[in-house]
Structure 1
Amino acid sequence: MTETSSTRSAADETHGAQGAQVAPRSRLRRVMRYLPLIAPVLLWAVPCWVLLYTGQHWPLPVALAGTTLSGLGLIGMPLAMARGHGRRRQDRAAIIGDALLGGVWVLFTWSVLLGVLLRLALAVAGVGDGQGRARIVTWAAVGVTAVLLAWGYAEARRVPRVRRLDVELPRLGAGLDGTRVVLITDTHYGPLDRARWSARVCETVNTLEADLVCHTGDIADGTAERRRAQAAPLGTVQATRARVYVTGNHEYYSEAQGWVDLMDELGWEPLRNRHLLLERGGDTLVVAGVDDVTAESSGLAGHRAHLAGALNGADPGLPVLLLAHQPTFVDRAAAHGIDLQLSGHTHGGQIWPFHYLLRLDQPAVAGLSRHGTRTLLYTSRGTGFWGPPFRVFAPSEITLLVLRSPQRSSPGAR
């Protein structure tokens, strides 16, 4: 069979479109390689310069003290994070390093913003001289940072609020209308002991009368043996039909198979490239799950994201609910005509304005979005937090999705 010019043209356009999508992600990955070296210097040096040396003329002891603190942070933060998240896995070091990272990110953000915007506003309003305006900016940045960190810590440590939304799936049968799906994800049990928080989250989930409860990965930072006490309350979660789980990328940093085994022990069904059927009222929903997209590169035998395997044996005419940890998997989901994908991974950015960087790597950061002609994606902001114990303008959530059929008999049908 010969290839026609139109076929070649279409193929070229397809490859061109794919290349356009891949190129930004490839550039981002190249930049990310150097980020651990560049980021700490910028995070500590920029606030130091803006708050101490841009027209303020602080007394020498004040300038020296501030500069010394910045230098200690620049040295101490990477060391603490290396000891906490590297081979030694020292929880106390991780707590210190993570807190410093979150604190300096907020200080960096607001010293830059206020250093430009507030100083400009004060100049336009004719408030003070250059030094006076510079000092106002310094105290404003320090004050805003302190307030946001206190609020962000409280937001990170509280039990998430329940976010409820109806999701209509055109292929969902009337018998499944009102199916209640609860999504938790990115619990990230870690150096800060959150066993009590975990129990309270599970108590909240149990008030939602779920038919299906899903956990889309990143259970913890650390091995199942080390974080077992924090994860144990997941065994108390109740669902009328099933509790299902898929791996996240952080499982592959910490003996993923151990987490799969523990979730199985706690009564959750790991959907590792497989599916189950949820039947009600004469209608059927395929509930499928895949390993995280990083699984194959982990080198762990048998772990990889394999959507075709997850759907093997399923009736192609049935609606499909897919669990995949990262939103980026939605390209493959849309190609297979998946009806709804549930994901986490992004934390909604966790600390503003980090979500702008996430948009370079993920097709969605939070909420419901459409991809292709059929596929819907719901991206949770996450139930816990990773690393820095702060959430700033990115609240955590427990999500209740009520699936709706276009053929339902009445709007209030369960």
Structure 2
Amino acid sequence: MTDTSDTRSADSEVPAAPPGLLHRLMRFIPLIAPVLLWAVPCWVLLYAGQDWPLTVALTGTAVCVLGLVGMPLAMVRGHGKRQRDRAAIVGDVLLGGVWVLFTWSVLLGVLLRIALTVAGIGEGQERARLVTWAVLGVTAVLLAWGYAEARRVPRVRRLDVRLPRLGAGLDGTRVVLITDTHYGPLDRVRWSERMCATVNALEADLVCHTGDIADGTAERRRAQALPLGTVRATHARVYVTGNHEYYSEAQGWVDLMGELGWEPLRNRHVLLERGGDTLVVAGVDDVTAESSGLAGHRAHLAGALDGADPELPVLLLAHQPKFVDRAAAHGVDLQLSGHTHGGQIWPFHHLVRLDQPALAGLTRHGARTLLYTSRGAGFWGPPFRVFAPSEITLLVLRSHT
């Protein structure tokens, strides 16, 4: 693996795309979301056609009010300047729990009620009680299952990716992608060790980490990240920053990954040579890097490819799928990304699609460029994954022959 370029100025780079619809909507979410998340379940479970004893109604309402007040406070205390891990865990669990409860209160509160009415099952309060117990039952099952899915070692997803410009000598090259490990308030040292052991069993030629290593600084999450130093690859281990690094002193993560033997591809590329053929492996900083104000950090694809033979196939690491527009404009053959978590907790999937061109899997963009979007290995915030399983990805590159 040969290093061939340095970080460059972004003066000639394609201008960053304006904020997406999701980002604009996010400005209003902190104001209205908590009220809706707690008020809707409260109404469906306690008041919509119900006739609970006064003590039950008052107790349930009090719980919802406490959640409405306590969840934002715990989130701010846990993820704000103080970075209190215990508060973060409480806030994250409440957020995930109420999101699932809200979702199924809406769905079952409407659809199940209609179905019961059409089927002539129950009347009035009886029908309302059936809806209540169905909502609570589905929520409990999904949260238990979602927690187990979030905490398990990711399953390996294997697929062949055919790149027409790939030389025959590179046919069969094994590329392992891990991303969005999100080491955080919940101590996951053992999880990290087992994940890295799974990666090593795949006997990769190239291992890639496309960012969002952790929530917190490198010093704070060092113990959880150290197992990444045990990852093995025949040719190289390469890494690019994600947006969460820029919330937590990104340069510290770049330095730590270098210390652990990973090659940070900060707007530069290296060459993977195998069987007499060559693959350009390039990487860019996350698209949020420039707005972070951290000197020298920005997404600059032209700089990353500077000096590379334009006839050679290009594998690009970029944290966010939406960078694929720039990748396609530069003739990149394959972009590897993460960021989306596959939606993490359904139906958040649909909101992610407002901001990103792909949610998960392999997609084509333009005449040449393929994009693989991983659902990620870890989780952000709520320790749940519902209909969005984690993954370690093994991509076997295939030539036109």
Q: Same fold by TM-score, threshold 0.5 exceeded?
A: yes
Contact 2:20-2:354 within 8 A present in 1 as well: no
Q: Please tell me the residue identity of whatever aligns with 1:117.
A: L
Aligned residue runs from structure 1 range 9-408, under 5 A: 26-407=20-401
Quote the Cα distance in structure 2 between the aligned partners of 1:28 and 1:227.
29
Quote the Cα distance in structure 2 between the aligned partners of 1:55 and 1:38.
25
Higher relative contact order (CA 8 A, sep 6+): 2
SS of the residue 1:388 aligns to = coil
Provide the TM-score with structure 1 as the length reference.
Answer: 0.92
1:27 Cα deviation after fit: 3.9
Quote the Cα distance in structure 2 between the aligned partners of 1:27 and 1:198.
35
Corresponding residue pairs, total: 386
SS of the residue 1:243 aligns to = strand
Quote the Cα distance in structure 2 between the aligned partners of 1:389 and 1:360.
23
1:51 Cα deviation after fit: 1.1
Provide the residue aligned with 2:11 in structure 1.
none
Compared with structure 1, are the counterparts of its residues 23 and 270 closer, same or farther at alpha carbon in structure 2 (3 Å cutoff)?
A: closer
1:24 Cα deviation after fit: 9.8
Quote the Cα distance in structure 2 between the aligned partners of 1:372 and 1:314.
21
Provide the TM-score with structure 2 as the length reference.
Answer: 0.95
Contact 1:25-1:360 within 8 A present in 2 as well: no
**Aligned-residue identity in percent:** 86
Compared with structure 1, are the counterparts of its residues 71 and 23 closer, same or farther at alpha carbon in structure 2 (3 Å cutoff)?
A: farther
Deviations 1:67-92 (A, max 9, x none): 00000000000000000000000000
1:26 Cα deviation after fit: 4.4
Quote the Cα distance in structure 1 between the aligned partners of 2:102 and 2:334.
38
Q: Please tell me the residue identity of whatever aligns with 1:31.
A: L
Quote the Cα distance in structure 2 between the aligned partners of 1:141 and 1:311.
53
1:398 Cα deviation after fit: 0.3
Deviations 1:153-211 (A, max 9, x none): 00000000000000000100000000000000000000000000000000000000100
Quote the Cα distance in structure 2 between the aligned partners of 1:242 and 1:163.
21
Contact 1:107-1:145 within 8 A present in 2 as well: yes
Quote the Cα distance in structure 2 between the aligned partners of 1:309 and 1:195.
36
Quote the Cα distance in structure 2 between the aligned partners of 1:29 and 1:260.
26
Contact 2:21-2:354 within 8 A present in 1 as well: no
Q: Which runs of 5 or more structure 1 residues have no equivalent in the other structure? A: 1-21, 408-414
Compared with structure 1, are the counterparts of its residues 304 and 383 closer, same or farther at alpha carbon in structure 2 (3 Å cutoff)?
A: same
SS of the residue 1:75 aligns to = helix
Contact 2:21-2:355 within 8 A present in 1 as well: no
Contact 1:24-1:360 within 8 A present in 2 as well: no
SS of the residue 2:140 aligns to = helix
Quote the Cα distance in structure 2 between the aligned partners of 1:225 and 1:406.
45
1:152 Cα deviation after fit: 0.4
1:31 Cα deviation after fit: 1.8
Q: Please tell me the residue identity of whatever aligns with 2:276.
A: G
Deviations 1:108-163 (A, max 9, x none): 00010000111111101100102111110000000100010000000000000000
1:406 Cα deviation after fit: 1.0
Quick check: which one's helix share is greater? 1
Contact 2:361-2:372 within 8 A present in 1 as well: yes
Quote the Cα distance in structure 1 between the aligned partners of 2:105 and 2:22.
25
Compared with structure 1, are the counterparts of its residues 176 and 23 closer, same or farther at alpha carbon in structure 2 (3 Å cutoff)?
A: closer
1:30 Cα deviation after fit: 2.5
1:23 Cα deviation after fit: 10
Contact 1:325-1:343 within 8 A present in 2 as well: yes
Quote the Cα distance in structure 1 between the aligned partners of 2:32 and 2:161.
43
Compared with structure 1, are the counterparts of its residues 133 and 23 closer, same or farther at alpha carbon in structure 2 (3 Å cutoff)?
A: farther
Quote the Cα distance in structure 2 between the aligned partners of 1:354 and 1:137.
23
Cα RMSD, aligned residues only: 1.1
SS of the residue 2:392 aligns to = strand
